[in-house]
Amino acid sequence: MKLAISQVCSLHAQLPQCIEDYSAGTCPAIEVWLTALEYYLDQSSPEELRALLDAQGMSIPAASYQGGLLVSQGEERQVAWELFRRRLKLCRELLIPTLVVAADVPSPIRSGDMERVQVSLRQAAHEAAEHDICIALELQSGSAFGNNLQSVSALVDQTQHPNLGICLDVFHFGVGPSKESDLRAMNPQSLFHVQVSDVSGVPREFATDQHRILPGDGDLPLPAIIDFLKDIRYDRWISLEILNPTLWEIPPRQFGEIGMASLRKLITADRR
């Protein structure tokens, strides 16, 4: 398993600072937040970013996230898909292999929504393949559909496209209706990306992004998930993703050191 830290862990800092400071904390890779990446590229060039990554010995394994693709209609759909296509080109230019797409189906589910989801996923995977990019569909605990690992796994399996897989966000897995047994229902070959965090002392019905904390300090079933990843010999990226405004106040260099230490402890713990 390869370790990364998501840029959203230091959202108050600019992308170059995150790259430099995470690297100083022995982090080998950064998962970029697409909006922040686009803001940076309004003022700098992709060549400058690639040079900075090379100088720091860093890579970008994934970009998060694209929403609005699955069931949107009319002008809203046109805007979302135009943005998606620009981001595919950007990922190809920056050699970012995986783009995370949210399984965001709003309530209530309307007639024809499930067909729209399946058509949209096939189209997204096809267009991603044209850019040599993989799409990782992320379950969303608040979604009307795709709020659990079993449903997202079924969607990916039904689509049957090599460029479409799963993004397992442990937060959404833990606070939504997913069960630990859902892990075994997942096709291991389709697991493209994993995002980890933890939650402590908050009922799952009330947990929000601001309750995310460092893994290992909370109540989510992280040991079972890590054991599963080891069992299937998962060898892709695990990214620390914490959208907590309190933790944003920690300087990126310090957070990089703390974050990498928590990730290493998580995956190396002997629980058997």
Tokens of 58: 């860093």
CA–CA separation, 68 vs 75, rounded Å?
A: 11
Q: Is 270 exposed, middle or buried (0-12, 13-18, 19+ CB in 10 A)?
A: exposed
Task: State residue 112's pLDDT score.
Answer: 86
Q: What is the pTM of this model?
A: 0.95
Closest residue by Cα to residue 30 from 96, 78, 83: 96
Q: What is the pLDDT along the chain (272 residues), one digit of tens a residue?
A: 999 999 999 999 999 999 999 999 899 999 999 999 999 999 999 999 999 999 999 999 999 999 999 999 999 999 999 999 999 999 999 999 999 999 999 988 888 889 999 999 999 999 999 999 999 999 999 999 999 999 999 999 999 999 999 999 999 999 999 999 999 888 889 999 999 999 998 888 898 999 999 998 799 999 999 999 999 999 999 999 999 999 999 999 999 999 999 999 999 875 55
Task: State residue 62's pLDDT score.
Answer: 98
Tokens of 186: 């997942």
The CATH number of 2-268 is 3.20.20.150
| Phi-psi sector, 21: left (phi>0), alpha (psi -120 to 50), beta | alpha
Q: Degrees (nearest 5) of the Cα angle 133, 105, 11? A: 60
| Cis previous bond, 65, omega within 30 | yes
Domain boundaries, the chain: 2-268
Closest residue by Cα to residue 56 from 30, 92, 93: 30
Which residues lie across from 193 on neighbouring strands? 167
Residue 28 main-chain phi, psi, to 5 deg: -90, -10
Q: What are the angstrom distances between the C-alpha of 90 and each of 41, 99, 126, 147?
A: 10, 10, 17, 28
